[in-house]
Amino acid sequence: MANAIRTGSGVQESQSDTIAAQAYDLSVGYPNDTVASGINFALPIGQAMALIGTNGSGKSTILKTMVGLLAPRSGKLTVFGGRPTASASRIAYLGQFHNAGFILPLRAVDVVSMGRFPLHGLTGKMDSRDFDICMEALRTMGAEKLADIPLRSLSGGQQQRVYLAQVLAHRADLLVMDEPTSGLDAGGRELYLQAMNSELRRGASLLVATHDIREEARLCQQVMLLARRVVAFGPPEAVLNTETLLETFGIVIGGDTGAAVPECRHSHTEGEPAAAVHKRKLFRIR
Ligand SMILES: Nc1ncnc2c1ncn2[C@@H]1O[C@H](COP(=O)(O)OP(=O)(O)OP(=O)(O)O)[C@@H](O)[C@H]1O
Ligand SMILES: [Mg+2]
């Protein structure tokens, strides 16, 4: 885990020029409800981290806190060395739910161009380079042909590709994405992985809430397992094992299909404990 120094109580402060985001004993939640506490991590610049957990475990709440939509309940959170709102223009945020019901019939390319707003302001003029960047982002997500179609006429997966193109068009330093592959078909998921690898190579950092354990494990250097508390945190090969997944989800996630299967129904090699088989399969994900 590069740059993050783990201690008994969490992660010590690191230099802000190498760390995109850092949490120290962070609690997140809403006015009358602390959703998760004891969150400690350091996300190095150019690396990716996944939040994985059950429905209602706090993934979206953490991401909203990361981008300044919610204030921390307690503890400390820094993004590029300051408060999240101080770096708003450097962060691209993809929320879990999107509004396709615009009053004006915005075309897909118009929605992607919103990804350029943080660089120009709402009233700033976009030039041909901005337009090229938006078209390239749509192309990256295999959605170039959708450019002139009203967003609300597109399917759910097509809309998701457009919103991912919006994130790419930002060319942000930190991408915070809530279930980015939701609704995507197999081709879309592959394009997403390629796009994210390219963002990492560009030097961007990624923080992703997801249910796609295998896919994100291919992408992320760090994984946090959540169940309204931090069950485990660290590199995927250390964190994703039978015990932690069972503790998080109440069932074992594994098998050749990647589907969630109850532990008792999973067949295994004679003489080899089921846990060892699950662990071996999970380690093949990278
Ligand atoms: N606006 C809100 N006000 C109060 N409580 C909320 C609000 N939004 C979410 N919660 C609660 O916070 C908890 C965590 O919700 P959160 O949306 O972070 O879960 P999640 O891990 O993203 O789940 P999912 O996988 O279903 O998206 C849930 O118990 C939820 O009911
Ligand atoms: Mg969520």
Flag the least confident range among 24-38, 48-62, 93-107, 177-191: 93-107
Res. 87: pLDDT tops 80 = yes
Ligand 2 centroid to residue 83 C-alpha, Å: 23
Sheet with strand 74-79: strands edge to edge: 33-44, 19-30, 74-79
- Which residue's C-alpha comes closest to atom 25 of ligand 1? 55
Confidence at residue 284, expressed as pLDDT on a 0 to 100 scale: 39
Helix (H, G, I), strand (E, B) or coil at 157: helix
Rounded to whole angstroms, how far apart are CA atoms 48 and 155? 29
Kindly state if the Cβ of 105 falls inside 6 Å of ligand 1: no
Kindly state if the Cβ of 102 falls inside 6 Å of ligand 1: no
CATH fold for the domain made of 6-240: Rossmann fold (3.40.50)
Confidence band for 254, pLDDT divided at 50, 70 and 90: low
Kindly state if the Cβ of 33 falls inside 6 Å of ligand 1: yes
Atom of ligand 1 nearest to the CA of 54: 25
Ligand 2 centroid to residue 62 C-alpha, Å: 9
Q: Probe ligand 1: pick from 52, 57, 207, 248, max atoms within 8 Å of CB?
A: 57
Ligand 1 centroid to residue 28 C-alpha, Å: 11
Atom of ligand 1 nearest to the CA of 29: 12
Q: Probe ligand 1: pick from 30, 32, 54, 97, max atoms within 8 Å of CB?
A: 30
pLDDT in tens, 189-242: 999 999 999 999 999 999 999 998 888 888 999 999 999 899 999 999 999 999
Kindly state if the Cβ of 30 falls inside 6 Å of ligand 1: yes
Kindly state if the Cβ of 60 falls inside 6 Å of ligand 1: yes
- Which residue's C-alpha comes closest to atom 24 of ligand 1? 55
- Domain boundary assignment for the chain: 6-240, 241-286
Task: Give the residue-averaged pLDDT of 111-130.
Answer: 85
For 27, counting Cβ atoms within 10 Å of its Cβ (0-12 exposed, 13-18 middle, 19+ buried), the class is middle
269: its two tokens: 């090699």
How many CB atoms are located within 10 Å of the residue 76 CB?
12
Res. 109: pLDDT tops 70 = yes
- Which residue's C-alpha comes closest to atom 11 of ligand 1? 56
Kindly state if the Cβ of 56 falls inside 6 Å of ligand 1: yes
Res. 92: pLDDT tops 80 = yes
Is residue 20 within 8 A of residue 205, CB to CB? The reply is yes
Average pLDDT, the chain: 84
Confidence at residue 131, expressed as pLDDT on a 0 to 100 scale: 94
Ligand 1 centroid to residue 60 C-alpha, Å: 7
141: its two tokens: 């997500």
Of 7-16, 42-51, 104-113, 257-266, the range with the highest mean pLDDT is 42-51
- If phi > 0 it is left, if psi is from -120 to 50 it is alpha, else beta; for residue 175 that is beta
Atom of ligand 1 nearest to the CA of 226: 21
